[in-house]
Structure 1
Amino acid sequence: RNGRIIVTEYPDRLVLENEGQFFEGVPADYISGHKTPRRYRNPFLVQAMAELSMIDTMGYGIHEMYAGQRRRFFPLPDYDLSDADVVQMTIHGKIVDAVFSRMLIQKTDLSLEEVLALDRVQKHLPVDDEAMIKHLRRRKLIEGRKPNFYLSAKVALASDAKADYIHTRGQDDVFYTKLVMDYLNKYHSATRQDINKLLWRMLSDALDDEQKETKIGNLITSMRRTGKIKNSGSRRAPNWGIAE
């Protein structure tokens, strides 16, 4: 149909739109990583991109996107197929419910199916799987009555583990943003290394080094997009200051 792929960037999300129906099956078929498409809409393009290392694997893109968001403790991607001739996908870059992120940090044994259901609860979307609802209730992960479920805030808050919980949870972005702004008000500029040094020990102990790098990068991007800071250096060697 010669339609374009439209990518719209918002401060808190990316929205991608593509003309035409979802090519084979539905997105949910591919989330677990157990299904691969039998054919591709443009097999020559897929093969070329794989050989040029522009894509890591063939047939596992949806699974990797969901797994990546889970590793970052962010909401999972959303597909919108309400228009029969358009596929729309939203990738979130901002926390919807801090309790959801806290669950992912603390409960590393959650299955992907459980995370998918909890993600729907935090977005106030229906969960139709009655067995999953009962399972989440037994694990004390959700509260409320159908259809008004909500995530339980009573996650791993044993009285003898409060200090560990605070270190594991970390702080919210408002706290980190204030630290960066206070630094810039005093010293006028900061490199990425300066900001890393400022925030590194403040971040959740549950994050590994790669996740901390990602967390700080996302914070800087958010501050830039909201007009709080600007880069007076280059893309490869940024030098951040307060936006006037």
Structure 2
Amino acid sequence: MWPSSSAPYLTTTKPLDERGVVLAVWTGFWHSADVLAGNAAEQRARLSGGLVISPSAQPTVTSLATASRSRCQRALNVTTVYVQWHPDHLFISNPGSFPHGITLENLLTHEPKPRNPRLYQAAKRLGLVEQTGRGIDKIYADQIRLGRPAPSYERSDSDAVRIVLRGGKANLGFAKLVAEQDEEGTPLKVEDLIILNHLEYERRIDVAAAAGLVQRPQSEARACVERLLERGLLEAKGERKGRVYHLSAWVYRVLGQPESYVRVHGIARQRQEALVVEFLKAHDRAERKHIVDLCGINGPQAGRLLKGMVEAGILKRLGSPPRWTYYILAKK
């Protein structure tokens, strides 16, 4: 484990004038910078236009933004902000719960609600924060655009807001994809990044799951994934409620994982039929559940596959539908 930092900044309880507030914020910011400095391990990737990206091995930009925000919020108090740097992640604990009305379920979409307006005005004068207060968006975007897992606030409770920022080796393929979208003048929004990041790890997503991730209504989440579909970043399978999305073949090539596309896209229908035939040659009979496991598809998809093979004269269905149905090879 890397060293931890935990120190209160100002132990006075006397009211501060504007100059004092600015000084306290500036002190908190530079202490955060000192804590997070010194991590120089880099990777490099050259983009098509000659632009070189060099993400550090730890989420430095995001870490500094998050830590300085926590330090600024506590700069006038005697409570302690903990910053722990582990080999694979950064952990920051900021005493006190989320502001009233903000929860884990609306963290990304709730209107800005700074705990202390005077601190934010001071930090704004120093150029450390945005006037809009959309720091959460920047924390998510800076972390995800390098292909790392999204920030996690799941350890937060009524006593403290806690965030985990995963570090380690960046995904240069993902960073290149995001940077090239920026260069083309079509930057990805934070909700786009969240969905693409999820699909990098989980392979598939539907509209309901997307809505939960980006903390927006399903209508907005559907518009988001369909926009990514139109841009060639996603592909879709199924219709209506059964419609799911996955990364496109082009994206998997950029990520350097062309074989992953084959796995997520699914085995071709002809290959599925061949697997079923081989299974029946070895085991004489098969139920739908066997085909689900064999081909890596869901129950309705297995049902349609078997029905098609029966209609084509390849299989014969026996038993009492729907519960006791099984299939054998049709005699030629």
TM interval, shorter chain, is 0.3 to 0.5
Larger-Rg structure: 2
TM-score for the superposition, normalised by structure 1: 0.45
Structure with higher RCO (Cα < 8 A, 6+ apart): 1
TM-score for the superposition, normalised by structure 2: 0.35
Name the structure with the higher strand share: 1
